Amino acid sequence: MFSKTASFVERFFYFYSKLSTTMNIIIINGPNLNLLGKREPEVYGNQTFENYFRDLKSKYPSVNLDYFQSNIEGELIDKIQEIGFHYDGIILNAAAYTHTSVGIGDAVKAITTPVIEVHISNTFSRETFRHQSYISTNAKGVIIGFGLKSYELALQSFL
């Protein structure tokens, strides 16, 4: 990383700049996740994502944390492509599109920003079709089954 002649000061300022830079992380949620708190509370819990996101932002004030949700596959792909070359991380819960969308999987493969795939429920304890992911092979990691805490675990993986 450094040449043998790099001074202590050069090294110090390099590492200091990395520590002092605000990370830009976005959470991208797919279809029906706008219904959290109302939809199948036995699977997804009672808390709305908006309330959870507010709490998460206040817990990590040094992170520039953004949020995007869409029920439309093309809008999710557009957002991944829009931010996929200049954000520090993407936390992606593509929801049902995880199991069906080659396009979202290809978008994740095409970008340079690392992606953590997240699922609120344990997809392997549900229907068999939910065991397939078109995202996992191109994701930095996968976190499933820890409820909304899955998002925080993903966020911590970037810090």
* Residues known to be catalytic: 44, 119
Beta-ladder partners of 67: 27
Select from 135, 76, 143, 137 the least CA-distant residue to 105. 135
- d(C-alpha 93, C-alpha 104), whole Å: 11
62 contacts: CB under 8 Å, gap ≥ 6: 22, 23
DSSP count for the chain of H helices, then E strands = 6, 5
Helix or strand (DSSP H, E) at 135: none
Angle at the Cα of 97 (from 94 to 103), degrees rounded to 5? 100
